[in-house]
Amino acid sequence: MRFVLEKITELNGLYVHELRVRLSAEKQMLDLIARLIESVSDENLKSALKVHRTETENHITRLDSLLSRSTADGNPIKSKAASFFKDEVESAIMDTASNSVRDAALIGVARRMQQYEVTSYDEIGSWAKTLKLDADLEILNQILRDEESLAQKLMDVSRHFSVEATS
Ligand SMILES: [Fe+2]
């Protein structure tokens, strides 16, 4: 017999659900960022990722505090997207030699990951706005700015990054 879960019927429920997924994503991202830091060789890239590791620790604390205000269950709900990016990172490491080609592959994964992060916080922020959760919106916008900042840094690194092409 199939166990039927109760469906989400209101935006507030969807908002809390997504906060819980965000919490799971950030916790997984913390491991993923550590893996990226140890795997890349470009110093600019490494330092941008180190800044974001500290920011991510802070995001986890903030998401926990947002969830603790709600009466609903605040435990993380596993983010499948973050698991997908973890797999992408491991594949990129496995498929490349440890040089600028690996950096190029990992920059690509990290940029795709940041598009996902930026879009997620932009969307959940718009829900907080609709729900008139002004204090929440303020916090979510701060996180969004950190995510956008890394996305921009990765784009800059990518533009200036040189990897020798051979044919
Ligand atoms: Fe993040």
3-state SS record for 130-162: HCCCHHHHHHHHHHHHHHHHHHHHHHHHHHHCC
- Compute the distance from residue 24 Cα to the ligand 1 centre, in Å: 10
Mean pLDDT taken over the chain = 93
CB-based contacts of 50, cutoff 8 Å, min separation 6: 37
The string of pLDDT tens digits covering residues 9-60 is: 899 999 999 999 999 999 999 999 999 999 999 998 999 999 999 999 999 9
Q: Band of the pLDDT at 70, cuts 50, 70, 90?
A: confident
Reported as a single tens digit per residue, the pLDDT across 117-136 is 999 999 999 999 999 999 99
Report all structural domains of the chain as residue ranges with CATH numbers, in order of start: 23-160 (1.20.1260.10)
82 CA to centre of ligand 1 in angstroms: 10
Ligand 1 centroid, distance to 147 Cα (angstroms): 6
Question: What is the distance between the alpha carbons of residues 74 and 19, in angstroms, rounded to a whole number?
Answer: 8
**CA within 13 Å, CB half, 151:** 14
Ligand 1 geometric centre to CA of 4 (Å): 31
Block residue for tokens 């700015």: 145
Residue 64 burial class via C-beta count within 10 angstroms: exposed 0-12, middle 13-18, buried 19 and up: middle
In the chain the first and final C-alpha atoms are separated, in Å, by 57
**Distance between CA 131 and CA 125 in Å, rounded?**
10
CA of 56 to the centre of ligand 1 (A): 6
